[in-house]
Structure 1
Amino acid sequence: MPEEATPVTETVRRRLRSLRVEQGLTLEAVASRAAIDVSTLSRLESGKRRLALDHLPPLAAALGTSVDDLLRPVEPVDPRVRGGVRRCAGLEMLALSRHHAGMGLQAFKMTIDRERIDPPTELPVHPGHEWLYVLHGRLRLLLGEQDLVIEPGEAVEFSTLEPHWFGAVDGPVEAIAIFGPDGERVHLRDGVAVDQAA
């Protein structure tokens, strides 16, 4: 039976979860550092287990903070994403999601210049998976032996272990892209970060 929440226990629970997620840590990682069982930590965060004072020092140490910091109320987080635009090799990418350590997939609004029409001699390959949705323009996708034109309103998803490249067909392209850290690094290799336009 869940313990009756008090302002202090509720503050600590929220702070535990907030700090853990902020640092991109799993329940398993924090539990291991604090030398407690992962199910205990999960129950502490959810309020299904009573929070005792002796839990605080090891949990604070596991999260690289102090007991005082655990007792500090969680400040409301502004949900708006204010990522910058990055440009490289005819691609402009605006982050639509926050980048956290250990976080997997990321979302971007991608603009492909009309001049991006010549694929490299060797198509990139990297671990992961990509998903693209074309908003405007016609996107050329080279995927292994396939040479495809993706029209507005169409989506594609594929393993990035398959050689791939995308460019414009007959004008600029706007798309939503979702991919992991490896995809971001490959597509924006030597990319230049610029301020987001207001």
Structure 2
Amino acid sequence: MRDKVKDVANRIKGLRLLAGFSEEQMAAWLNISKDSYIRYENGEDDIPISIIYEIANIHGVDLTDILTGVSPKLHEVCYVKKGEGLSVERLDEYEFEDLAYKYANRKIEPLLVTLDPKNNPELVIHQGQEFNYCLEGKMKVIIGDKEYELNPGDALYFNPAKPHKMVALDGKPAKFLTVIIL
């Protein structure tokens, strides 16, 4: 995983340098400290997926460009068989599988997410809108000071600009579909 983090970090640094932006500018646009941005860009810290989305938006590139170094090519249909989504190894607390990574100019980002019950992630924020649909297990979604318990078949739509996180319940993994509207 460390090599993948370094590859993503190098692509982010390359985009910044090509655009002529400073580390200070990027940190300010991302609303993080310059030190945090530098650690992300140097591959010293895992970059939250929400930060990668924002970096992609700043540079006008697809998320897939940053994650893989290859631009998505499909414009009509993107067919992804079970288990063949792009593994997005960003945070140890969440296992992401991008289900539309081959489709260019996406307006939504559908991700299959697996929660490990041993993990307690930090709250995150990002732009857009978010939809979560619980597929397996039991999970809790914390949004600001409110908590929502989701069982298979339950759904939640919310503003991800509010600090939020998802955790597995009952000591068992949980799996859910999240759709982020960009």
TM-score calculated relative to the size of structure 2: 0.50
Larger radius of gyration: 1
Give the structure-1-normalised TM-score.
Answer: 0.46
* Higher-RCO chain (CA-CA 8 Å, sequence separation at least 6): 1
